Structure 1
Amino acid sequence: MVTAGFILHGERDRAASITHDLATWLLQRGHDVRMPTDDAERLGLGEHGVPEDRFADGLDVAVSLGGDGTMLRTVELVADSGIPVIGINVGQLGYLTEVDPAGARMAIKRYLSGAYEIEERMLLAARIEGRESSEHVALNEAVIEKTPSGHTVRLAVSVDGEYFTTYAADGLIVATPTGSTAYSFSARGPIVAPMHRCLVLTPVSPHMLFDRTLVLDPHSTLHLEVVGHRPATVSADGRNLGTLHPGDALSCTASPRTARLVTFGEHDFLAILKTKFGLSDR
């Protein structure tokens, strides 16, 4: 018997109905299910709700029902425990979610029978160094950017302890290959195959002559220090982590842990790209 955890998009009714169906189906067969307390109560399954900080305890598999944002939240909750994640796409076509809603129950059946593979994706280890230090992991990216006041920020970048340059920009993105199709892509960064391992440093609207992305060794350590007199905000996978003041910094490198995504056959990244961008076969 397995313990399956569910994370669902809070504003999509279809995600709620599919979750209720899958959870009920598993419970009827003697398996255990859990989900964050608020979600469990909303589905009438309050006895299966747990606080998010206990979600991964003893879990065998996590099921994400939503889009890429829900997948990022799910990975964040289970990354430290190495728990595999099944992504069920409830919404627009995403890069991370593999299973269509119609195939949700079949995906669970295949997982239970062992008919699946694990695709390991690089995670970013991000450490805030400042008045309050903290450590985080991200599947897509860590970002330092200007505050809502709209002024550019100055960020001194070092690689493995060697000073590179100081950027004047709206922000800097440190992305994983998986994250190369997210915020970094919108800032004109390159598309990197998701199974590759590297650090992608992309400036956002740089106010300087050098405006190119750097693709660096994953084991390098990037050190981004706020200089000048303006503060900046820092986030990881869209989660706001607070404000960095002059002298504070963000350090990033590849995490020793990986995101473990459940796949049911080859994950055709190029086919997804063609679909999202309307590329023809001519």
Structure 2
Amino acid sequence: MSRTSNGASDHQDRDDGSRRRPDRVAFVTYPDEGAARTLAETLAREALGRFGFEGLYVPVQSRLDNVDAVISVGGDGTVLHAAAAAREADVPILGINLGRVGYLAEVEMDAVDHVLMRLGAGDLATVDHPTVAVEFEDGSTATAINDMVVEKVVSQRIVDLEVMIDGELLTTYRADGIIVATPLGSTAYSLSAGGPIIQPTVGCMVMTPIAPHSLLSRSFVLRSESVISIRAMSERPAQVNVDGRGTRQLQRGETVRVTTSDRPVRFLLTGATPFPRAVRDQFGLDHA
């Protein structure tokens, strides 16, 4: 989603009221991203004098210990990886945008000092965003902040996927795949497949078929308590991806279960830009 020059959050319009001054903040980025790593290391080194909290540089996908908040430096991909670690550590995250698209990484470079000084003063509240839990038959699990996708492995061949909702059969899709997105992830792959835009703080899941060979081509917006079961019915395997990362394949007859996780991901709020304005800015509706 779009950003404003003062670092105001554009896609979050409700907070839980919690505000806390952090003592120790991790600046996270990919180690091979030169500009992002240089900025992250500089901010971490100078954080105590400039912003009033201790900073440390942590490569993405590293374990986070004894930190009060996470600052992701890079693009949305960096935020997704860092947010997974922040969620496990039960601390909030904020993204500094160095990429082209900054829906998750929404603080622009000219707003970094202002926003981090506010963080150091305990002036940023947090907001919870739902995540989805993915469970396989062998008991292994994964968590998606944006989306999980069950899709074809062979590009020229579609897959048959049986979908049940709360134990009741919906249909068997013949399609390229099925996306189950969080509200935060509704502007990602799901949107490109024809799904709706969901306000990020709404408690729900969005299920969107990908290029279905069916008249039933629309998305389903499901309550957060729903249980979605997707069963592979083709001789050909299907691939399960979680936040863009390949997790495993489903063989014929195997099922993956998708629910709203009992642990959300927390983002730091930098402002209160209304959701309609955020959508208008993100999709250039003022220039349509």
Q: TM > 0.5 between the two? A: yes
Equivalent position of 2:54 in the other structure: 31
Give, in angstroms, the shift of residue 11 of structure 1: 5.8
Deviation track 1:57-103 (CA, whole Å, cap 9, x = no partner) reads: 22211111112211111111121232100111112242222311122
Could you say if the C-alpha distance between residues 12 and 267 of structure 1 is closer, same or farther in structure 2, counting changes exceeding 3 Å?
farther
Distance 1:149 1:185 in 2: 21
How many residues matched? Answer: 265
Give, in angstroms, the shift of residue 155 of structure 1: 0.7
Equivalent position of 1:47 in the other structure: none
Structure 2 unaligned spans of 5+: 1-21
Give, in angstroms, the shift of residue 136 of structure 1: 1.2
Match of 2:222 among 216, 232, 245: 216
Q: Does residue 251 of the first structure (1) align with residue 257 of the second (2)?
A: yes
TM-score (norm 1): 0.87
Equivalent position of 1:79 in the other structure: 87
Give the letter aligned to residue 59 of structure 1. V
Could you say if the C-alpha distance between residues 213 and 94 of structure 1 is closer, same or farther in structure 2, counting changes exceeding 3 Å?
same
Equivalent position of 2:245 in the other structure: 239
TM-score (norm 2): 0.85
Equivalent position of 1:3 in the other structure: 24
Q: Does residue 125 of the first structure (1) align with residue 148 of the second (2)?
A: no
Could you say if the C-alpha distance between residues 90 and 170 of structure 1 is closer, same or farther in structure 2, counting changes exceeding 3 Å?
same
Equivalent position of 1:277 in the other structure: 283
Give the letter aligned to residue 37 of structure 2. A
Could you say if the C-alpha distance between residues 103 and 270 of structure 1 is closer, same or farther in structure 2, counting changes exceeding 3 Å?
same
Instruction: Report if the CA contact (8 A) 1:95-1:272 is conserved.
Output: no
Q: Does residue 135 of the first structure (1) align with residue 141 of the second (2)?
A: yes
Match of 1:101 among 90, 109, 133: 109
Distance 1:14 1:273 in 2: 29
Larger relative CO (CA 8 A, sep 6+): 1 or 2?
Answer: 2
Report which stretch shifted further, 6-15 or 154-163.
6-15
Q: CA RMSD in A?
A: 2.0
Report which stretch shifted further, 179-188 or 106-115.
106-115
Match of 1:16 among 28, 37, 40: 37
Aligned to 1:168, what secondary structure does the other structure show?
strand
Equivalent position of 1:153 in the other structure: 159
Structure 1 unaligned spans of 5+: 40-50
Give the letter aligned to residue 141 of structure 1. D
Equivalent position of 2:235 in the other structure: 229
Aligned to 2:263, what secondary structure does the other structure show?
strand
Give the letter aligned to residue 84 of structure 2. E
Aligned to 1:154, what secondary structure does the other structure show?
strand
Instruction: Report if the CA contact (8 A) 1:95-1:269 is conserved.
Output: no
